[in-house]
Amino acid sequence: MNTSKRLPKYRLPLWASLLAAVLLAGCVTLLALWCQPNALRVVLAHFKAQPLLIILNALPIGLLLLVFACLFRNVFFGAALVNFAVCALSIANRIKLEVRDEPVFPRDFALLKEVGSAMGTYDIHYPAKVIAVVVVTTVILIVLGVFVGSRPFPVAKLRGWAGRLLGAAASFGLLAALILTVYASDSLYNSFRVSNAYYIPAVFNELGFPYCFCHQFTTYPIDKPEGFNKTMAAAWETGDRPGQGKDVHLIMVMNEAFSDLTDDPAFTYTAENDPLPNFHALRGDDHAITGHVVVPSFAGGTANTEFDVLTGMQTNALSATTTSAFRVVNRNLDSVLRVFREDGYHTSFFHPGDDWFYNRENVYRWFGAEETVFADEMEALEYKGRWVTDDYMAGFIEHAFEAAVSQGQLLCNYTTTIQNHMSYTIDKYGEGYQFPAVETSAPLSEQAETMLKVYIEGVRDGDAMLGRLVEYFSATDEPVVLAFWGDHLPYLGDNQLAYSELGSDVAKKEADRADALCSYETPYVIWVNDAAAATLDWDHVKDSLDLPENGRLSAAFLGAALLEITGRREESPWFSFLNDLRRELPVAQKKVYMAPDGAYTKVLTDQQDDLVRQWRRWSYYKLRYKDIDG
């Protein structure tokens, strides 16, 4: 039966259809924003102060509406489909924010299988009222489409399917071009005022879900390595052998901005006022290994170092544009924590900051941490200025260790501290705080001297934390391996101001440096107590690690080295491969490599090149395809 002959239908002229498309796009945008958990009036207040956001949120919806309006030759049918799709996505974003405090990203479309399995693990409260409004609105638009159509296109040749497809393609092409240019612009995205630029859910709420979602299409991509073969990569994953390691506790502490900068010749500290007495003492300790770890970033990127150490992948190799490794993590991954968890350890992560920062709450669950504790769950926090002290975190680790031992558990813990976080201004520790003088032979400006004395005070406290933990674990009969290192060098002024005034190579161009990677090197120490030394046969372990004489290694190899130290080299084919690669190339930083003899090179042998390519391809497989339960 041909209903079009029985039902009266009003047909809009072209100008009216275009006007209706604009108005409907605005209505769909408002409804999508209303679906979000925050009040619509708050969003509109942000839009009123920054009117460009109105266009950036409505434009992609309008262009998508035109795509389907052209295909259906009916603006209301097109609006109905776009309304349902966009609002469903907005509702999904609302639910994801409520259960995981993380927005919906375009990459989530590639994880529908994981989303389906994860839904059963959360107590999800579906917004019935919101869903009902979206469904009713969609139905109303469909009904309008039945009674209101469009007049034939003025150009006769474009009235058939060729014209429909051409119009849809043009609209979609413009949308794609805008996503790759305007919406991809970080400078535009970062130009808008938000209450907290580091809290992604707040940014989505304040700038609008449609705009932020479109921006994320080109943010944090993972480049597919040349020659990647999924079947071949899957074959590398065979041979897991849990349970081979020694029963020792592993305590990993990544200390904020910890460095041995004060060892630079420009400083004139003596043994009496040395900011790093404990670290320096461990350099000569038979129970310790010391050196420098080459981290992915300079003066920031704490989570990137966490990612490299724990997963054995490299932030800098994920993509030509990736700057935050934790933002590409959205599935269970192999990690140091997961290896120990498979061996029956209690695995935990501690950080005296916010759980949403770098999405750590979710990422560490994907890394295999059974327990995560952030500042809001820590009691009686002790502050020095605005940051929780390193001394408090040392005590927190000690209490966690005692709790594990009392329950008959072995502990694998990763702690990221925060006290020595920038900025290094004179008021960091409160008005009137007296900082020890900077002991240096270099003439310093007032600004550089201030930053250095504030920063070095934090280094002293970091070193004191190291000393306290060594003393504490020395007194226990439980076997303990302690690893302690810095996440990155400090930011000390624009254009490396303080580094420049000190005459440090960090301020020089790479070609003029004696050490090409000095701006990425932070000190590390791996120390074992007497019980662990006996359990591990420490002298043999030290010799068999085959570390280069200068002690340098990439952060991505540090976790693998710790697994080998604790007898777990053969438990995971991935980490076993990394330990083999470490022996061939102890340092790999973008396209700069260090051979075992300490010499840097940008030219690899065929064998080394094959190993690095396998590393990249295997990493890609893990990030995109490998399924891990639990």
Query: Is 434 domain-assigned?
Result: no
Instruction: Return d(Cα 535, Cα 588) in angstroms, integer.
Output: 32
- Which residue, chain included where needed, has tokens 């709450």? 361
Report whether pLDDT(202) > 90.
no
Tens of pLDDT, residues 157-187: 666 777 889 999 999 999 999 999 999 998 9
Query: Is 583 domain-assigned?
Result: yes
Instruction: Return d(Cα 391, Cα 387) in angstroms, integer.
Output: 11
With pLDDT > 90 as the criterion, what percentage of the chain qualifies? 76
Residues 241 and 163 both lie in one domain: no
Residues 194 and 321 both lie in one domain: no
Report whether pLDDT(352) > 50.
yes
Tally of domains in the chain? 2
Instruction: Return d(Cα 413, Cα 170) in angstroms, integer.
Output: 54
93 φ/ψ sector (left φ>0, alpha ψ -120 to 50, else beta): alpha
Report whether pLDDT(603) > 70.
yes
With pLDDT > 70 as the criterion, what percentage of the chain qualifies? 94
Question: Higher confidence at residue 101 or residue 318?
Answer: 318
Residues 173 and 321 both lie in one domain: no
Could you tell me the end-to-end alpha-carbon distance of the chain, in angstroms, rounded to an integer? 55
Tens of pLDDT, residues 15-68: 898 899 999 999 999 999 999 888 888 889 889 999 999 999 999 999 999 999
Residues 175 and 249 both lie in one domain: no
Instruction: Return d(Cα 333, Cα 313) in angstroms, integer.
Output: 11
Q: Is 484 helix (H, G, I), strand (E, B) or coil?
A: strand
Q: Tell me which of 191, 218, 245 is where a domain ends.
A: 218
- Which residue, chain included where needed, has tokens 């390193």? 390
Residue type, 72: F
Q: Report, as an integer, the average pLDDT of 537-543.
A: 96
Cβ-based neighbours of 465, under 8 Å, separated by 6 or more:
253, 255, 390, 391, 393, 394, 417
What is the CB neighbour count within 10 angstroms for residue 7?
Answer: 9
Residues 125 and 234 both lie in one domain: no
Query: Is 505 domain-assigned?
Result: yes
The pLDDT, as a whole number, for residue 112 is 53
Q: Tell me which of 218, 238, 263 is where a domain ends.
A: 218
Cβ-based neighbours of 555, under 8 Å, separated by 6 or more:
293, 294, 295, 296, 305, 308, 309
Residue type, 227: G
The pLDDT, as a whole number, for residue 110 is 61
Residue ranges in 216-320 assigned as alpha helix (H): 230-235, 277-283, 302-311, 315-318
Residues 330 and 476 both lie in one domain: yes
The pLDDT, as a whole number, for residue 197 is 77
Query: Is 117 domain-assigned?
Result: yes
What is the phi/psi pair of residue 117, to 5°?
A: -75, -30
73 φ/ψ sector (left φ>0, alpha ψ -120 to 50, else beta): left
| Contacts of range 561-564, beta carbons closer than 8 Å, 24 or more positions apart | 561/526, 562/250, 562/252, 562/336, 562/481, 562/483, 562/526, 563/245, 563/336, 563/339
Question: Higher confidence at residue 124 or residue 286?
Answer: 286
Tens of pLDDT, residues 424-436: 999 999 988 999 9
Q: Report, as an integer, the average pLDDT of 582-599.
A: 95
Q: Report, as an integer, the average pLDDT of 126-140.
A: 94
Query: Is 237 domain-assigned?
Result: yes
Residues 191 and 241 both lie in one domain: no
Query: Is 169 domain-assigned?
Result: yes
The pLDDT, as a whole number, for residue 114 is 47
pTM of this structure:
0.84
Longest Cα–Cα distance of the chain, Å, equals 99
- CB contact at 8 A, 266 and 440: yes
The pLDDT, as a whole number, for residue 176 is 96
Report whether pLDDT(7) > 80.
no
What is the phi/psi pair of residue 479, to 5°?
A: -75, 125
The pLDDT, as a whole number, for residue 4 is 47
Query: Is 431 domain-assigned?
Result: no
Q: Report, as an integer, the average pLDDT of 190-204.
A: 84
Confidence of residue 108 (pLDDT cuts 50, 70, 90): confident
Instruction: Return d(Cα 519, Cα 522) in angstroms, integer.
Output: 9
Question: Higher confidence at residue 154 or residue 437?
Answer: 437
Q: Is 126 helix (H, G, I), strand (E, B) or coil?
A: coil
The pLDDT, as a whole number, for residue 286 is 96
Residues 136 and 250 both lie in one domain: no
What is the phi/psi pair of residue 599, to 5°?
A: -85, 135
Residues 178 and 286 both lie in one domain: no
β-pairing, 521-528 with 288-294? antiparallel
Cβ-based neighbours of 563, under 8 Å, separated by 6 or more:
245, 336, 339, 569, 571, 572, 575, 579
Q: Report, as an integer, the average pLDDT of 433-446.
A: 96
Average pLDDT for the chain? 92
CATH number, position 618: 3.40.720.10
Instruction: Return d(Cα 76, Cα 137) in angstroms, integer.
Output: 11
The pLDDT, as a whole number, for residue 599 is 93
The pLDDT, as a whole number, for residue 160 is 75
Tens of pLDDT, residues 372-429: 999 999 999 999 999 999 999 999 999 999 999 999 999 999 999 999 999 899 999 9
The pLDDT, as a whole number, for residue 123 is 60
The pLDDT, as a whole number, for residue 8 is 62
Residues 200 and 243 both lie in one domain: no
* Residues spanned by the domain of 413: 230-426+456-624
Residues 157 and 195 both lie in one domain: yes
Identify the DSSP state of 423: P
- Exposed, middle or buried by CB within 10 Å (0-12, 13-18, 19+), for 264? middle
Residues 214 and 234 both lie in one domain: no
Tens of pLDDT, residues 357-369: 888 999 999 999 9
Identify the DSSP state of 561: H
Q: Tell me which of 218, 246, 274 is where a domain ends.
A: 218
Query: Is 356 domain-assigned?
Result: yes
The pLDDT, as a whole number, for residue 9 is 75
Tens of pLDDT, residues 449-496: 999 999 999 999 999 999 999 999 999 999 999 999 999 999 999 889
